[in-house]
Chains A and B, each alone.
Chain A
């Protein structure tokens, strides 16, 4: 699905990357913990998060995340916005909570960038 469709489904505002709404995305990962994102998120996925600091953009850049969706109506700082511009990472914000954001995208065909973790990766 195109990022413009994601924007429509989530009634989102585009903060950075209005010119990249043609981008195709198929998968997503949602977390407020960047170490979780680094452990599991795949290149080309959407990142759904409630964090708004600059490490979100840096993490997305390290992983080649396609676009970032800030949930719960979060507004990023100027520094975060500038970094997103510098790295050319689309940054959107939606009023929906993380659960609703994920659910609405899933219902329209976006799937997790992984379905579940391996047996040993949680308890070892």
Chain B
């Protein structure tokens, strides 16, 4: 499931971050990294905030549901792209998964304060453009675009 999200020519920053499935102790480390990178680059506070939130909910989903995943972060002059690719069961019914309140989360995920079926809605709401696709048995793919200039 390789998708080329942009030409890297004009991008100001690009990096990839691995996420370990099932490891709740580390859940959030990648998003925290991403947040501090964007902050250091001097991006507006609301842009950093949106990117941090969508990264974090995505990271929680990879940890919760997938075997492993990667977040590809690309900062262009006018947009931030956050791509999340995971290897796992995938999402059989995306319309259902996107519904607020739909969740297959287990007790462990709920104890962490997630698993109320709001994650994907939050990700969509904080993104300017949101794409989700999945191949059942292979994994899920999310692509979020956050505009730097409103």
Query: A-side interface residues toward B, CB under 8 Å?
Result: 32-39, 43, 49, 51, 53-56, 58-59, 61-64, 79, 124
Contact = CB atoms under 8 A, between A and B. Distances in A.
Interface in B19-34: 24-25, 27-28, 31-32
Contacts of A36: 116, 118
Choose among A43, A49, A79 the residue with the greatest number of B CB atoms under 10 Å from its CB.
Answer: A43
Interface stretch (B4-12, B75-83, B87-95, B106-114): B106-114
B3 interface: no
A113 B97 CA distance: 29
Contact of B112 (A39, A53, A62): A53
Interface residues of B, number: 25
Given A32-B113, A39-B122, A63-B53, 14 more contacts: A33-B113, A33-B114, A34-B112, A34-B113, A35-B118, A36-B118, A38-B122, A53-B111, A54-B25, A58-B27, A58-B28, A58-B31, A59-B56, A59-B113
Interface of B is mostly: helix
A32 B32 CA distance: 21
B125 interface: yes
B28 A51 contact: no
Contacts, number: 68
A79 B25 CA distance: 9
A63 B57 contact: no
B52 interface: yes
B32 A38 contact: no
Contacts of A64: 49
26 contacts: A33-B114, A33-B118, A34-B113, A35-B113, A35-B114, A35-B116, A35-B119, A38-B53, A38-B56, A39-B121, A39-B122, A43-B45, A51-B112, A53-B112, A53-B113, A55-B28, A56-B113, A58-B32, A58-B56, A59-B56, A62-B31, A62-B32, A62-B53, A63-B49, A64-B49, A124-B100
